[in-house]
Structure 1
Amino acid sequence: MAPRQSRCMKALICASVLLSLVLYWCGLAASRTGDENVIWRSAAVRPITTGIDFSSLFTSAFPEPSCDPGQVLLILVTSAPWHSEARQAIRTTWAAPVQTPYSWQTVFLIGHTSDDQVTEEIEKEQQKFGDILLGNYLDTYRNLTRKVLHGLKWARDRCQPEYILKTDDDCFVNTDGLPTFLTEHNTIRSGLYAGSLFPREKRMVIREPSSKWYVSRRDYAPDLYPPYASGIGYILSLDAVDVILHAAEYVPPIPVEDVYIGVLADVVGIQVKSSGRFAKHNVKWRVCNYRYLMVIHHLNPLEQELAKENMIKARTACQNSTLITRWK
């Protein structure tokens, strides 16, 4: 009975997503006029277009990482091909294997480069560590959306973790506390999408072509993005990843990765949860802050080492401080 119920549930999810997208597009088509400057409703997408072609993102010429299905947490780290120092700093700090009751794993997401020497170094790095997922796309900022969707698709299909954290290679992840928090204290087991949100004024669509965050009105018509979590780090439950990936097949990609995830979540009705545990800035955090913070942005390799030391110190040095068990 369980497999049949599982298949039925997946079918219902797919049907629900498709229906919501059809209704969405119909509403948009009805409201659109001949004026290209007309603003559609929030999270609007072009009614006639295609989404992500997932098959084009995978390459068979490069070995994939291995993973144990059913882990508590899989951490996907976006990294540029030439950021080998940052990756190594992560491997020796917060991604280093430790004894833990809750299983987790770290995988680096990298795209292709035209530099043959860098490509050769990446191949050697993969042979040594086996933690790189190479995508079939050029590694540029404008392709970051494809990089992350490739990672999510691979993680969902190959690994089936309970939760996925997407972060960057200049971020520190509190691997001492996050898997435990997700297992023992998190009360949102399904439809989870959590991170550090931007205020309304920071969600205005940038139309200046010279900006790396430029998005044309043709790619995204509204002037305001729906609420979304910063790409420094956001958590998704596996079921949320499932429906987001399905929606991505129909919703045209936006070349701003964290925005696109927010748009997809908005389309399928998943509300992003704001959490102070994701710090956009690296300030002089006290040791006891590491009992609360899960992701910290803007760390160089030396600062990664210091952050790991503080994370370990917080196990014993801060036992008298209150342990916060909520997302806030």
Structure 2
Amino acid sequence: MTADVQKRWQLSSRFPIIQGKLPRRSRFGAIESAQRGVDFPSLFTNSLTDPHCEPGQLLLILVTSAPGNSEPRQVIRRTWAAHEGPTAYQWQSVFLVGQSADVGVAQGIQREQQEFGDILIGNYQDTYRNLTLKVMHGFKWVAKQCRPSYILKTDDDCFVNTDRLPEFLLEHNTIKTGLYAGSLFSREKRQVIREPSSKWFVSRQDYHPDEYPPYASGIGYILSLDAVEQILWAAEHVRPIPVEDAYVGILAEKAGIRVKSSARFAKHNVRWRVCNYRYLMVIHHLSPHEQEVAKGNMLQARSACHDSLEVTRWK
């Protein structure tokens, strides 16, 4: 590794950590008596106003977003995050954003939060390799302040079918506790990347095995509140790695939570038909224009395709 590459990854990989004890034997070897976990208090800011949330909602959607991504956030606010009339299912969406080195961008984020009240600003540098800290901060805030029945984590280039997901969770989901579901990666794609030039690089010191346990893609995964709490407990003891979705999978395995594979989470954006919106819950990689089209398809699916059977299972 060249000196400049080594320095770049060192600067972008500095996770705040604490000392903790895991009171059982780990699959990674001997008893981990001094495993370093996430330093949760350091992720919170005391000078900024957090979003408001009503405790006990059905669903809270956490959307990871970069500070400069104001346009994707605006598009989401007027498409799938917009509440279309009265609903029997209480849910809300919150954007997760870290600190920007650009003073103008940072000030813009604070103004945006003051205007919309839907941004949780964390006390960490907003970089790709700090995405793990971003999600852990969001989980901790949700578990402490909001306590919804379910949490969906997604990204700001994804479409969430908010016309179907809340109803599905309340009316059809039979897994009320220990729920962790999403689109899983094949075993070949769970190999740990050791190449230092890759943005998914993880050193053997940070994670020793060569393969991650089964985990759901970060484009979107759903968790029950109890699963989030168990994952947070594990995170206090398990060293974080800069691959957010794989880290959640590691924590879930540590907590004894088995991930459920679901085709309702689409990693790829293809030309989905209107009827597909009676089934799909999350679609990845949409442009602002495609978000608008997807919203129209979602609403049209309310009255379309009644001749097709409604699928009421995760698969």
TM-score, length basis structure 2:
0.91
Distance (whole Å) between structure 2 residues aligned to residue 47 and residue 295 of structure 1: 39
- Alignment of structure 1 residues 49-198 onto 2, 5 Å: 49-98=35-84, 99-198=86-185
Contact preservation (8 Å) 2:43, 2:137 = yes
> 2:15 — aligned with what?
none
Runs of 4+ in 1 over 4 A off after TM superposition: none
Query: Which one-letter code corresponds to 2:193 in the other structure?
Result: I
Deviation at 1:25, TM superposition (A): 4.0
Q: Give, in angstroms, the shift of residue 47 of structure 1.
A: 5.3
Q: Aligned AA for 1:23?
A: R
Q: How far apart are 1:283 and its partner, in Å?
A: 0.1
How many residue pairs get aligned? The number is 295
C-alpha deviation, 1:22, in angstroms? 3.1
Whole-Å separation in 1 of the counterparts to 2:241 and 2:197: 16
Q: How does 1:1-328 map to 2 (within 5 A)?
A: 21-25=22-26, 28-29=29-30, 48-98=34-84, 99-328=86-315
CA distance in 1, matches of 2:67, 2:28: 42
More helix by share: 1
Alpha-carbon distance in structure 2 between the residues aligned to 1:302 and 1:108: 20
CA distance in 2, matches of 1:29, 1:181: 42
Return the alpha-carbon distance in structure 1 between the equivalents of residues 45 and 199 of structure 2.
Answer: 27
Deviation larger for 47-56 or 80-89: 47-56
| CA displacement at 1:26 relative to structure 2 | 8.9
Q: Decide whether the 8 Å contact of 1:25 with 1:47 is kept in 2.
A: no
1:77 and 1:128 mapped to 2: Cα distance?
18
Q: 1:5-36: CA deviations, max 9, x gaps?
A: xxxxxxxxxxxxx99x4332497138xxxxxx
Q: Output the CA distance in 1 between the equivalents of 2:111 and 2:43.
A: 22
CA gap of 1:178–1:26, structure 2 versus 1, over 3 A, is closer
Per-residue deviation, residues 113-172 of structure 1 (Å, max 9, x unmatched):
110110111111111100000000000011000000000000010000000000000000
**Quick one: distance in 2 between partners of 1:23 and 1:114?**
41
Q: Distance in 1 between matches of 2:261 and 2:181?
A: 6
Provide the rounded CA distance (Å) in 1 between the counterparts of 2:248 and 2:177.
17
- 1:49 deviation in Å? 2.7
What secondary structure, in the 3-state scheme, does the structure 2 residue paired with 1:28 have? Answer: coil
Q: Structure 1, residues 39-79: CA drift from partner, whole Å, max 9, x if none?
A: xxxxxxx6533100100000011110000000000000000
Q: Classify the secondary structure of the residue corresponding to 2:303.
A: helix
CA distance in 2, matches of 1:48, 1:221: 16
Letter in 2 for 1:311: M
Contact 1:226–1:266 at 8 Å: present in 2 too? Answer: yes
Q: 5+ residue gaps in structure 2?
A: 1-19
C-alpha distance in structure 2 between counterparts of 1:26 and 1:229, whole Å: 20
* Paired AA for residue 236 in structure 1: L
Moved more, 318-327 or 282-291: 318-327
Deviation at 1:322, TM superposition (A): 0.8
Question: Is the CA contact 2:28–2:209 (under 8 Å) kept in the aligned structure 1?
Answer: no
Amino acid at match of 1:157: K
Question: In structure 2, what is the Cα distance between the partners aligned to 1:49 and 1:72?
Answer: 34
Asked if the contact 1:26/1:47 (under 8 Å) is kept, the reply is: no
Q: Distance in 1 between matches of 2:299 and 2:306?
A: 12
How far apart, in 2, do the equivalents of 1:318 and 1:25 lie?
49
Secondary structure in structure 2 of the residue aligned to 1:105: strand
CA contact (8 A) 1:281 1:297 kept: yes
8 Å Cα contact 1:113-1:119 kept in structure 2: yes
Which blocks of at least 5 consecutive residues in structure 1 are unaligned? Answer: 1-17, 31-45
